[in-house]
Structure 1
Amino acid sequence: MTESSTPAAAEPSGTSVRSHQVRRHRGEGQWAKGHFTPLNANEQVKKDDDGLNVRARIENIYAYRGFDAIDGQDLRGRMRWWGLYTQRRPGIDGGKTAVLEPHELDDEYFMLRVRIDGGVLNVAQLRAISEVSVTYARGTADVTDRQNIQLHWIRIEDVPAIWKILEGVGLQTTEACGDTPRAMLGSPVAGVAKDEVIDATPALEELKRRFVGSKEFSNLPRKFKTAVSGLQDVVHETNDVSFVGVEHPEHGPGFDLWVGGGLSTNPQFAKRLGAWVPIEEVGDVWAGVCGIFRDYGYRRLRNRARLKFLVADWGAEKFREVLETEYLHRKLIDGPPPPFVPPTQRDHVGVHEQKDGRFYVGFCPRVGRIDGATLGRIADLARSVGSDEIRTTPDQKMLILNVPGDRVEGLIGELKALDLQVRPSVFRRHTMACTGIEFCKLAIVETKALASDTIDELEKRLPDFDTPVTINVNGCPNSCARIQTADIGLKGQLVRDADGNQVEGFQVHLGGHFGSDMDDDGSFGRKVRGLKVTAKELPDYVERVLRNFQAEREDGESFAAWTVRATEQQLS
């Protein structure tokens, strides 16, 4: 599925004048223009019943009667409001992903997404997730690039018991999926980082308290992604709304406001509105931005229903004007010149001193994949060094905070014994992968095991390679693993091998990156014409390109910069 750039694109031949009149009358399905009639099946489902209401049916009906009793609109729609997606039935190859009907792809098990706003966990919470994983999810657990933890093989009969365990320690799955405000990204080192402009924790807590589970925003055109950080470590450029820590020359520390970012098949970096927001106003401003999306967002076509399309059509100036005049009823304070990413890694892996003299220790699960028993062991290790704070990151990594200096090396050794590297290779540190065909109904190829095996191969073949190069592996075009902003982004698709057989493979994106300084606003990179690699060829391809980079780069040149001037032969 591709996203059309214009609402009236590609009208079928023979379209009548009456059809055009109806199209103009219906517009884009924007509520603020009086267009409340559902224009597609998804909008009809939400109008029929709010997704939040399905919890009662799960607890009182489906958990007792089983999978076959679940209403189809609940199964493939409203249950997402409580973090539940049906997972892919085993044995269905990628060539059938876009061919089969939804019920043919459904397994009778669910993926359950545990919402972890800001990536903040304590020991009791991590132990609870471990318990759920081991008891109800066959030991599965994936740390996502939205700071959540996903579990698989969940039976509908077990969901109420799972909720009881999670909610007993303050966790929830509310609006972890669906057309809702999804889990909100926050700095994994909020409150402890030496260089943060402002601790955004109170703002995140307010947003969660006021708006998660509120029917005020439980029917949005599509998902709505938020990031709030006193640093620049939450990929703010790809979120629907972001509050980024900045020092105002007159008003002090606060947040720079960005809107309209998103990737998938029509990527767009967020636009800076030029407004400065004090921490006590973040909640109201967030509600204003989300309200604009709810009221003016495009609901006619699902592939144009993200905020980025409205922002692209309106522009930053009009968006700010509507926010101020219709939603806040006051002017925002103009912000300083935009902040830019400091020349440091965003992933927080390694040992770092906190502002209180203790340390946080960041480590790498393999492309986010971990198991329930290991989560429990991480909780035990945190407690053993006197810490009650564990964080997940937007790069599928984890941290233990508040580690005394004399306990750091022992902790590193204990983590290494669990295959959790604190001092990893470049490849372990900078490779991400989405869920892939193993569980995802949208995927075309396998990702997690392939990415892990590729890490092993590159560590053997290029043991001394030390330049940070991100490798992001995605099972379909939707870019859950942010392929357009990776040095080497791999978009899963079926390709032909040397013998003409259709096999799993990837289209290659090269040189994608976020902005790094005043002269670099970031880029979605480039694609070499016709360049595709099979899954089997992937380690050979990456090794070849990285060796070309090593041979041809200039002093201090990044991989992304090199790809701009490299020849197609050097990139192939």
Structure 2
Amino acid sequence: MPVESSTQSSTDSQTKRPRPRRGEGQWALGYREPLNKNEENKKNDDGLNVRRRIIDIYSKTGFDTIDPADLRGRFRWFGLYTQRAPGIDGGRTAVLEPEDLEDRYFMLRIRIDGGQLNLEQLRTIAEISTTYGRDVADVTDRQNVQLHWIRIEDVPEIWERLEAVGLSTTEACGDAPRVILGCPLAGVAADEVLDATPQIEQVYTEHIGSPEFSNLPRKYKSSISGCSHYCTNHEVNDISFVGVSGPDGTPGYDVWVGGALSTNPMFGQRLGAFVRPDQVSQVWAGVTAIFRDYGYRRLRHRARLKFLLKDWGAAKFREVLEKEYLGFSLPDGPEPPMEPNMRRDHVGVHPQRDGNYYIGFTPRVGRVSGRTLAHIADIAEAHGSNRVRTTADQKMVLLDVAPEQIESATTALENADLEVNPSSFRRQTMACTGIEFCKLAIVETKQRGADLIAELERRLPDFPEPITVNLNGCPNSCARIQVADIGLKGQLVTDANGQQVEGYQVHLGGGMGLNARFGRKVRGLKTTAEELPDYVERVLRRFLDQRADGEAFATWVTRAEEADLK
């Protein structure tokens, strides 16, 4: 039942239920007619139905026979995007039609809910990469693995191989519930509030791939974690369950709703409700149904849950959730206890609760290969482990290493260029897919991020502070640029010779946690790609010269003179 608007006249409110502007297209208020091409495509055919056509038709008849509504729409419900055709510069990204930008190959996103992989699964991904994807793979900041160079003819066989080991690409993209983030140390961390693995598995089993939630207004990102380091970045997900100790000391979850970045970044808001572990799936479904029914469907750029949350506020959202979708009230609960400047990753060697150790290691900006993934599986097996994890920071973790095996496992990883004791730059630099494969990108990111790490390690070998440097190829913030110490948004800039070249707008001093803030934008603060190492070195040296004792980079940025940030 829709909630009445306080802006309606008293006469109207007494005679009939008020209706908001028809243009928002909210289903719960009776507006079911599609208001844009995307909504029309979804109404015409559920995205989940495209799987059968891929298997029975497109994989047999080839790329040229694919219906455009499937190719550029419904394919996403199974993790498939056409990748960018080679040789198209960033200046043409915004002016060419999709069919002019796309290649005949696909990016395929494999969802890894909770970041949990056994060695059979890891080896299967590795084999698919080497057999069908030209040995390219990316570990993403959503704990997925993305493959590239995939042909439509090979997709059914790839699905068979993945599903045989319990993996899937279902709803890895699209206007649907995407991968559920979870702490990679769930069940083994000595300091976790609770193990969220059962709740992730329940939500996945009960709701992922269901037509009930396969037509949401836009993408929908979830996290469920009991990590005491908040490694799933709950502040920037559509819905997050954050492990806390309840009023009576029983572990459960604090619920956050409406976080997301992109071009209109917003932090999630606490509903103030305590959720028992056995209630998580029901509450997740209730929040997701609110998004489905009340979410805005007119303009794609306003169709994320964050805009509804902003308009309603947390109190109204909780009221609608409890009264219309749950049928019961949730008790008030505590907010997560946070410490300032907390590291949220799991890099390095650390004890598990069972006496073994985990080893977190760092591929360069998430770029790996099938051969590298297979080698990681071999290293794990040789050291008695059957479990490897992905993180929300493009890193990986090897679990269950016995104390006497730590040195050998660490050496094997580092010999494969998978640093266990990395520099600040290697540890905390991320990069999105970039112009190499992404049709939305304007600039290159992966190689540039790797080159930046190497150059900063050479120039500032003893840099003492944790520093996050995130590179994004376009304004959409897949690499979380607004919450990085140094966030770099790809765009074309003018160099000293008056030529348009690849470069970045700079965001400084972003972060999450106790001091959550979006990065500071200084007027005219841009850098060309060629000058990027010089710029980052310059601003970091000024920070070292001017900081107070114990002062974090983000804190210094808030008080620094603009001239010192350029």
Q: How does 1:352-501 map to 2 (within 5 A)?
A: 352-501=350-499
Q: Distance in 2 between matches of 1:460 and 1:339?
A: 38
| One-letter amino acid matched to 1:373 | R
User: SS at the partner of 1:27?
Assistant: helix
User: CA offset at residue 345 of structure 1?
Assistant: 1.5
Equivalent residue number for residue 140 of structure 2: 144
Tell whether 2:279 aligns with 1:297.
Answer: no
Q: Give CA-to-partner distance per residue, 1:70-89, whole Å, 9 cap, x none.
A: 00000000000000000001
Partners of 2:26 and 2:297 within 8 A in 1: yes
Equivalent residue number for residue 3 of structure 2: none
Tell whether 2:142 aligns with 1:160.
Answer: no
User: CA offset at residue 340 of structure 1?
Assistant: 2.2
User: SS at the partner of 1:263?
Assistant: coil
User: CA offset at residue 260 of structure 1?
Assistant: 0.2
Q: How does 1:186-225 map to 2 (within 5 A)?
A: 186-225=182-221
User: CA offset at residue 104 of structure 1?
Assistant: 0.4
Tell whether 2:554 aligns with 1:556.
Answer: no
Equivalent residue number for residue 18 of structure 1: none
Q: Give CA-to-partner distance per residue, 1:302-344, whole Å, 9 cap, x none.
A: 0000000000000000000000000001000110244325754
Equivalent residue number for residue 75 of structure 1: 71
Q: Distance in 1 between matches of 2:54 and 2:559?
A: 56
Tell whether 2:94 aligns with 1:98.
Answer: yes
Tell whether 2:286 aligns with 1:280.
Answer: no
User: SS at the partner of 2:252?
Assistant: strand
User: SS at the partner of 1:367?
Assistant: helix
| One-letter amino acid matched to 1:161 | E
| One-letter amino acid matched to 1:372 | G
5+ unaligned residues in a row in structure 1: which ranges? 1-22
User: CA offset at residue 249 of structure 1?
Assistant: 2.9
5+ unaligned residues in a row in structure 2: which ranges? 1-18
Q: Distance in 2 between matches of 1:337 and 1:171?
A: 34
Q: Distance in 2 between matches of 1:98 and 1:179?
A: 22
Partners of 2:341 and 2:552 within 8 A in 1: no
User: SS at the partner of 2:265?
Assistant: coil
Tell whether 2:541 aligns with 1:543.
Answer: no
Q: Distance in 2 between matches of 1:54 and 1:341?
A: 46
| One-letter amino acid matched to 1:298 | Y
User: CA offset at residue 233 of structure 1?
Assistant: 1.3
Call closer, same or farther: CA 1:360–1:569 in 2, change over 3 Å.
Answer: same
Equivalent residue number for residue 518 of structure 2: 524
User: SS at the partner of 2:512?
Assistant: strand
Q: Distance in 1 between matches of 2:137 and 2:337?
A: 35
| One-letter amino acid matched to 1:130 | A
Q: Give CA-to-partner distance per residue, 1:205-252, whole Å, 9 cap, x none.
A: 001101110000000000000011002110000000000000113151
Q: TM-score, normalised by structure 2?
A: 0.96
| One-letter amino acid matched to 1:165 | R
Equivalent residue number for residue 313 of structure 2: 315
Q: Distance in 1 between matches of 2:331 and 2:404?
A: 46
Partners of 2:468 and 2:486 within 8 A in 1: yes
| One-letter amino acid matched to 1:552 | Q
| One-letter amino acid matched to 2:69 | Q
Q: Distance in 2 between matches of 1:384 and 1:120?
A: 19
Partners of 2:247 and 2:333 within 8 A in 1: no
User: SS at the partner of 2:322?
Assistant: helix
Q: TM-score, normalised by structure 1?
A: 0.95
- Number of aligned pairs? 546
Q: How does 1:55-134 map to 2 (within 5 A)?
A: 55-134=51-130
Equivalent residue number for residue 350 of structure 1: 348
Q: Give CA-to-partner distance per residue, 1:270-300, whole Å, 9 cap, x none.
A: 0000000010000000000000000000000
Q: Distance in 2 between matches of 1:66 and 1:411?
A: 45
Q: Give CA-to-partner distance per residue, 1:112-149, whole Å, 9 cap, x none.
A: 00000010000000000000000000001000000000
User: SS at the partner of 2:251?
Assistant: strand
User: SS at the partner of 1:312?
Assistant: helix
Q: Distance in 2 between matches of 1:480 and 1:336?
A: 30
User: CA offset at residue 515 of structure 1?
Assistant: 1.9
Call closer, same or farther: CA 1:359–1:342 in 2, change over 3 Å.
Answer: farther
Partners of 2:340 and 2:513 within 8 A in 1: no
Partners of 2:487 and 2:519 within 8 A in 1: no
Equivalent residue number for residue 167 of structure 2: 171
Q: Distance in 2 between matches of 1:286 and 1:251?
A: 23
User: CA offset at residue 569 of structure 1?
Assistant: 1.0
Q: Distance in 1 between matches of 2:382 and 2:342?
A: 30
Q: How does 1:2-17 map to 2 (within 5 A)?
A: none
Equivalent residue number for residue 6 of structure 1: none
Q: Distance in 2 between matches of 1:429 and 1:338?
A: 25
Q: Distance in 2 between matches of 1:382 and 1:145?
A: 22
Q: Distance in 2 between matches of 1:457 and 1:277?
A: 47
Partners of 2:242 and 2:336 within 8 A in 1: no
Partners of 2:23 and 2:35 within 8 A in 1: no
Q: Distance in 2 between matches of 1:128 and 1:525?
A: 39
| One-letter amino acid matched to 1:510 | L
Runs of 4+ residues deviating >4 angstroms: none
Instruction: Select which of 39, 49, 53 maps to 2:45.
Output: 49
User: SS at the partner of 1:440?
Assistant: coil
Equivalent residue number for residue 13 of structure 1: none
Tell whether 2:24 aligns with 1:28.
Answer: yes
Instruction: Select which of 323, 326, 332 maps to 2:324.
Output: 326
Q: Distance in 2 between matches of 1:341 and 1:387?
A: 32
| One-letter amino acid matched to 2:173 | C
Call closer, same or farther: CA 1:389–1:93 in 2, change over 3 Å.
Answer: same
| One-letter amino acid matched to 1:544 | R
Partners of 2:358 and 2:400 within 8 A in 1: yes
| One-letter amino acid matched to 1:405 | P
| One-letter amino acid matched to 2:334 | P
Partners of 2:196 and 2:225 within 8 A in 1: yes
Larger deviation, residues 524-533 vs 309-318: 524-533
RMSD: 1.0
Instruction: Select which of 332, 335, 346 maps to 2:333.
Output: 335
| One-letter amino acid matched to 1:383 | E
| One-letter amino acid matched to 2:562 | E
